[in-house]
Structure 1
Amino acid sequence: MREPYDDRTGHARGMTRRQVLGIGGALGLMAATGLSASAALSRRPPITGAELRSAVPLPPAFQVPLPLPSVLAPVSTEGGVDRYEITQRESTAEILPGVRTPLWTYEGTFPGPTIESRRGRPITVTHRNDLPVPTVVHLHGGRTPAASDGYPTDLVLPEGWPDAAHLRRTGEGGHGPEHGMHGMRDPRAVLTELTRDYTFPLDQRPALLWYHDHRMDFTAPAIWRGLAGLQIVRDDAEDSLGLPAGRRELPLMIADRAFAADGSLDYPALDPTLRERPGVRGSYLAGVLGDVILVNGAPWPVHEVDAARYRLRLLNASNARHYEFEAVSDDGRRLDLVQIGADQGLLAAPVTHRRLPIAPAERYDVIIDFSHLPVGSRVRVVNRLGSGRTRDVMAFRVVRKAADDSRIPRTLSNELPAWRRSDAVRVRDFSFRAGRMRGGHGWLIGGLPFDPTRSDVTVSLGDVEVWRLIADVHHPVHLHLVGFQVLSRGGRPPLPHDAGLKDTISLRPGESAEIITRFDGYRGRYLFHCHNAEHEDMGMMANLEII
């Protein structure tokens, strides 16, 4: 049985201040006792972090219409390659009714524009950095060559960045040994000024991907300020399944935020300019939570639907908040959430849930059927891990009867890999826990904080490996380049929502898990890391070298 918890702090009610500091503040508990203390935390709720409280009046739930991100048009389609241009720039938007909020954006909007792409048709995206700090773009879930994967030191420098001349002098061909963050040097860093071309071959299964900033030490505040957008990969096989489509397919980027008294996004950065000193104030070291739930940039929105099936493409783009979704009608009926896909595309067969947990950076592809509801019905999507205002997410209102020829096939995909334990050439163990780094508090993988110059894991192209992961508190672990399958949790079979091919696994407090993957696609330097963005910025990343 779960202990009661306080959604404001993210910890169990009744915990002492010493215990709270040990998990979410000073982080000393895990550093002192290591993973032996994990069992004691196994009953804690799957929330890690502290919540900011907005200083402006918040609107009632379910009044703002759900916006849908615009679809970006290519500037060229010549030569079998779709070419796009995106400018990263400061903008303002009316997120809360009547309140103007400054943002960092892709193309002036939050979320950024959606890129619609086809499997096997390459795209190139030219990013221009008109922001006041360096940036990096990572296509999360992309099967991407290392040069375009968005390694955290491969910076796009803004025009006139004060260190640019020095960086050019200290390397050849745009390679500089120093990226200017946290005093670290990276001789392999690739720096460009103002613009950079990112090339994505899209040799991968159809799936919902997302792109976001990945700059070393400052990923969390950059995403918080708005640097996130969607990319959808499609193919003919998926199109032929008869799944809900068109206006009955809804991409939903879900993220929490908090607002300061002047309407700006509140964030506890030690350096609000995001130029020099990384990190957050002590009580937020375990993760930053907001008290406003945004869906596609709108607070607790409502969307009018037909009495028909809808396909919801769900992304948790929150820095640290976990959700457990449930769809409930106003008369108390719970609607099935039929999962058809995971991070890396379609499942082999549908899986039906009543509640669906989703950690930061995870994606779920689900179908919800409104056909049995009378016109005028309302269905709320609620977060069973929330309390107060964070318990509500969004609502659907059934406004008309309509024909529906969509279907949910019993077989969705027959191209999932069939990896077996016996295929693995090695088994590796990784611990994800709090600890000390550079004289302060941080988050470590295998007892070490991130260092871009250190090779943590080296694998040969094509190798199959089993990784055993163990956590102290909640850590959503993400692998770049490859998808994986979950073999076990705590020595038991995977959970129902672990089905399919994933690139992010949500480790619960005190939990161990096994995953299996094949390291194919491309050679080069990649990453694996916790996708609690504050953990990531404070050391919880490691290098993955594919040779």
Structure 2
Amino acid sequence: MSEPQLQLSRRRLLALGGAFGLLTAGGLASAATLAHRPAGTGGLLRSAIELPPAFQVPLPRPQVLAPVSTTGGVDRYEITQREAVAEILPGVHTPVWTYGGSFPGPTIEARRGRPAVVTHRNELPVPTVVHLHGGRTPAEFDGYPTDFVLPASWPESGGHGGHGGHGGTMADPRAVQSRVVREYTFPNEQRATMLWYHDHRMDYTAPAIWRGLAGLHIIREDSEKALELPDGERELPLVITDRAFAADGSLEYPSLDPSLRDRPGVQEPYMAGVLGDVILVNGAPWPVHEVAAVRHRLRVLNGSNARHYELEAVDQDGRALELVQIGADQGLLSAPVTHRRLPLAPAERYDLLVDFGAVPVGGTVRLLNRMGSGRTREVMAFRVVRAQREDTPVPQTLATDLPEWRREEAVRTREFAFRAGRMGEGHGWLIGGRPFDPAREDVGVRLGDLEVWRLIADVHHPIHLHLVGFRILSRGGRAPLPHDAGLKDTVSLRPGEAAEIISRFDGYRGRYLFHCHNAEHEDMGMMANLEVR
């Protein structure tokens, strides 16, 4: 699907909202009839600066953050959130917001069962909130949107709630805020996988991530070593994002209030999401990476605000290489799944094996985005520079610890509608017909309960649950798609589609969230509270 099909006007948005009323009444069968509607996931921002040619900039590898202490069975880290200047486009200086001065932020390498305590210091001009996406985290450290870390200059009247710019002022009596410094404890009591951390401030998540507040958090465990998966130089984290650049080299973003202080939201053409015209991987535009002619492990994250990708690896002869999926959001699959093309929604992660063995030395493999057009059809390239003997087979059994949840064991089934709608005097994005309110309980579950959730969409919505992973049971009343395998924490709902997921709500009690991870949708009301008792 090309970018011209991805534009969404307010009239179109409201028309979908009207059609959606019929969809909720008809359930899964009606959802399937709307599944062929064009996707409306954003407006395209075009850069005003000359852009570099593709496949010239080397692929950076995100730096790994060293702990400041490892005593007492706990790894302790310190991160300062601060403004910096990055050279994203060659020779161009771009102001960014960073974790520790780098774009993207530094990677935390954690061990399963070994807690990580991360002290964040906010030297930015606005409040921030840190959320470990996919983490099984106690509620007080999960990064609830109103649990601000206030900068030193923020007035005392900065409040204990969100700005609520789309539906009026909303106070949150449960907000727990700190000034300048906050300590987050991540137990890492979960399966080995690649998570990511990012800003989650209420009403302003999208522009904060766009400016640079995101980084990786990888959990490892010894059992992975027995699988002999590619490691070291042959394991590549790939954070795929899109951005647009102003004429002066700064990041272009259509905020209603560029100070991110008083008026949340984006200009009307971008209400469905902001798409950039530059594809970055690990902060570099259309990079190239030199590889040996052997199998590599690609740890892929879609860190974009709203852009969906459909990845395909193609060699110089136009032949598609196999993308062998070995893991999903929440860790390894039970067995590998082979794809030619792989859809990737915002916040989704895939663990892939790609074999460059059949590519001659000097050959090139391009990673393409079949949902893009023009230059956004290119993501990055791999250049084969040397022959090497392959010594890492693809394991046919990967993991044996995935939960075997069965629908008939669920204590209840719930249904949630994700659609455009009216918020106060304007328009936004709603769950069950209501915009987010931090003071309202939307869903209450008992600790340990197994539930089935039916999620129904009007347009593209990547839906993320905090605290728990889930299995996808069905799409449109049919079997899940091949890429739905494994344990997920984000499910990509296609336009007009209904999907069913199953999860056990265990781990911790407290207040959590579920929401759309199109970051503009999230900022404009598409979140709901989940209380685990």
- TM-score tier, shorter chain, comes to over 0.9
Which digits, 9 at most, give the CA deviation of each residue in 1:204-238, with x for residues without a partner?
A: 00000000000000000000000000010000111
User: Per-residue deviation at 1:374?
Assistant: 1.0
Taking the aligned partners of 1:478 and 1:96, their CA distance within structure 2 comes to 32
* Alpha carbons 2:364, 2:381 under 8 Å: kept: yes
Q: What count of residue pairs does the alignment treat as equivalent?
A: 523
* Alpha carbons 1:47, 1:321 under 8 Å: kept: no
**What's the secondary structure of 1:312's corresponding residue?**
strand
Taking the aligned partners of 2:52 and 2:287, their CA distance within structure 1 comes to 10
2:411 counterpart letter in structure 1: V
Say yes or no: does 1:339 pair with 2:334.
no
Taking the aligned partners of 1:56 and 1:236, their CA distance within structure 2 comes to 47
Taking the aligned partners of 1:87 and 1:401, their CA distance within structure 2 comes to 42
Taking the aligned partners of 1:318 and 1:518, their CA distance within structure 2 comes to 28
User: Per-residue deviation at 1:32?
Assistant: 3.5
**Which residue matches 1:103?**
96
1:196 to 154, 163, 182: 182
Distance 1:8-1:221 versus aligned 2 partners, 3 A rule: farther
Give runs of aligned pairs for residues 218-229 of structure 1, distance below 5 A: 218-229=204-215
User: Per-residue deviation at 1:40?
Assistant: 6.8
**What's the secondary structure of 1:536's corresponding residue?**
helix
* Alpha carbons 1:244, 1:407 under 8 Å: kept: no
**Which residue matches 1:431?**
417
2:142 to 149, 155, 162: 149
1:92 to 78, 85, 91: 85
**What's the secondary structure of 2:227's corresponding residue?**
coil
1:73 to 57, 66, 86: 66
Taking the aligned partners of 1:7 and 1:494, their CA distance within structure 2 comes to 26
**Which residue matches 2:462?**
476
Taking the aligned partners of 1:242 and 1:35, their CA distance within structure 2 comes to 51
* Alpha carbons 1:9, 1:50 under 8 Å: kept: no
* Alpha carbons 1:46, 1:322 under 8 Å: kept: no
Taking the aligned partners of 1:402 and 1:458, their CA distance within structure 2 comes to 55
Say yes or no: does 1:7 pair with 2:8.
no
Give runs of aligned pairs for residues 172-251 of structure 1, distance below 5 A: 177-182=160-165, 183-251=169-237
**What's the secondary structure of 2:405's corresponding residue?**
coil
User: Per-residue deviation at 1:201?
Assistant: 0.5
* Alpha carbons 1:213, 1:228 under 8 Å: kept: yes
2:3 counterpart letter in structure 1: D
User: Per-residue deviation at 1:407?
Assistant: 2.0
User: Per-residue deviation at 1:422?
Assistant: 1.2
Give runs of aligned pairs for residues 485-500 of structure 1, distance below 5 A: 485-500=471-486
* Alpha carbons 2:199, 2:209 under 8 Å: kept: yes
TM-score, with structure 1 as normaliser: 0.94
1:330 to 311, 316, 322: 316
1:305 to 291, 299, 308: 291
Say yes or no: does 1:22 pair with 2:11.
yes
Taking the aligned partners of 2:262 and 2:5, their CA distance within structure 1 comes to 28
* Alpha carbons 2:2, 2:371 under 8 Å: kept: no
* Alpha carbons 2:104, 2:213 under 8 Å: kept: yes
Say yes or no: does 1:115 pair with 2:115.
no
User: Per-residue deviation at 1:414?
Assistant: 0.1
**Which residue matches 1:135?**
128
Say yes or no: does 1:451 pair with 2:451.
no
User: Per-residue deviation at 1:281?
Assistant: 0.3
Which digits, 9 at most, give the CA deviation of each residue in 1:38-76, with x for residues without a partner?
A: 667522344511100000000111110000000000000
**What's the secondary structure of 1:220's corresponding residue?**
helix
**Which residue matches 2:264?**
278
Taking the aligned partners of 2:196 and 2:126, their CA distance within structure 1 comes to 21
User: Per-residue deviation at 1:8?
Assistant: 4.5
Taking the aligned partners of 1:483 and 1:35, their CA distance within structure 2 comes to 29
1:509 counterpart letter in structure 2: P
**Which residue matches 2:247?**
261
Distance 1:118-1:80 versus aligned 2 partners, 3 A rule: same
Taking the aligned partners of 2:57 and 2:4, their CA distance within structure 1 comes to 24
Taking the aligned partners of 2:438 and 2:223, their CA distance within structure 1 comes to 40
Which digits, 9 at most, give the CA deviation of each residue in 1:75-134, with x for residues without a partner?
A: 000100000000000001110111110000000111100000000000100000000000
Taking the aligned partners of 1:35 and 1:358, their CA distance within structure 2 comes to 28
2:345 to 346, 356, 359: 359
User: Per-residue deviation at 1:371?
Assistant: 1.1
1:378 counterpart letter in structure 2: T
**What's the secondary structure of 1:89's corresponding residue?**
strand
**Which residue matches 1:172?**
none
1:80 counterpart letter in structure 2: G
Q: Which moves more between the two structures, 397-406 or 494-503?
A: 397-406
Taking the aligned partners of 1:45 and 1:300, their CA distance within structure 2 comes to 27
**What's the secondary structure of 1:380's corresponding residue?**
strand
Give runs of aligned pairs for residues 498-513 of structure 1, distance below 5 A: 498-513=484-499
Say yes or no: does 1:390 pair with 2:376.
yes
Taking the aligned partners of 1:273 and 1:320, their CA distance within structure 2 comes to 21
**Which residue matches 2:426?**
440
* Alpha carbons 1:338, 1:352 under 8 Å: kept: yes
Distance 1:45-1:62 versus aligned 2 partners, 3 A rule: farther
**What's the secondary structure of 2:382's corresponding residue?**
strand
Which digits, 9 at most, give the CA deviation of each residue in 1:245-295, with x for residues without a partner?
A: 001000000000000111100000000000010000001000000000000
2:146 counterpart letter in structure 1: T
* Alpha carbons 2:131, 2:199 under 8 Å: kept: yes
**Which residue matches 1:464?**
450
Taking the aligned partners of 1:534 and 1:41, their CA distance within structure 2 comes to 23
2:140 counterpart letter in structure 1: A
1:534 to 520, 527, 531: 520
TM-score, with structure 2 as normaliser: 0.96
* Alpha carbons 2:17, 2:458 under 8 Å: kept: no
User: Per-residue deviation at 1:408?
Assistant: 1.5
Distance 1:495-1:415 versus aligned 2 partners, 3 A rule: same
* Alpha carbons 1:376, 1:398 under 8 Å: kept: yes
* Alpha carbons 2:40, 2:272 under 8 Å: kept: no
Taking the aligned partners of 2:409 and 2:253, their CA distance within structure 1 comes to 46
* Alpha carbons 2:160, 2:177 under 8 Å: kept: no
* Alpha carbons 1:31, 1:436 under 8 Å: kept: no
Taking the aligned partners of 1:477 and 1:397, their CA distance within structure 2 comes to 35
User: Per-residue deviation at 1:177?
Assistant: 4.1
